[in-house]
Amino acid sequence: MARIRRTRTHRLVAGTAAIGLAGALAVAGPAGTAAAAPPCTAGALSTTASGVLARAGGFFDAHPEANDVITAAAKQPPQEARDSVRGYFTAHPGELLELQDIARPLTDMRNECGVELSPGHLATLIDTITE
């Protein structure tokens, strides 16, 4: 019984996230005809996000200390996590710039399309279709 209730709740949350993403894409409207404008579609956003995440994975493999800080932050209370990550990257500004450069394609696309999309959003959407 608890499993059914948890599954229904999870589906409701995931469905709400999917509706929110669809609404955000509708507000963003179709991509313009200008060559520089990104296609503001779920597919384009997913492709951009996956490229950014792949490059971020390479970054963290090459910077094990940053990897440890980010991994630990995922298990910390929000304020402690922010302070820990901020402290690390304040002490390692070159790594911060490198990671910001890696994230730039997704940041630019999110700004240009007016869509808020994070890996967490994508994971929720994937959970919706895999249950």
Give me the pLDDT at residue 43, please: 85
User: Alpha helix (H) ranges present in the chain?
Assistant: 2-28, 42-62, 64-73, 78-91, 93-113, 119-130
Q: Is 31 a residue whose pLDDT tops 80?
A: no
Cα gap 128→131, rounded to integer Å: 6
Give me the pLDDT at residue 22, please: 38
Give me the pLDDT at residue 129, please: 82
Using CB atoms within 10 Å of the CB of residue 38, give its burial: 0 to 12 exposed, 13 to 18 middle, 19+ buried: middle
Q: Tokens in use for 49?
A: 């996000």
Burial 78-117 (b: 16+ CB within 10 A, else e): eeebeeebeebbeebeebbebbeebbebbeebbeebebeb
Is the distance from CB of 1 to CB of 115 less than 8 angstroms? no
Segment 75-86, tens digit of pLDDT: 999 999 999 999
Is the distance from CB of 64 to CB of 107 less than 8 angstroms? no
Cα gap 84→126, rounded to integer Å: 29
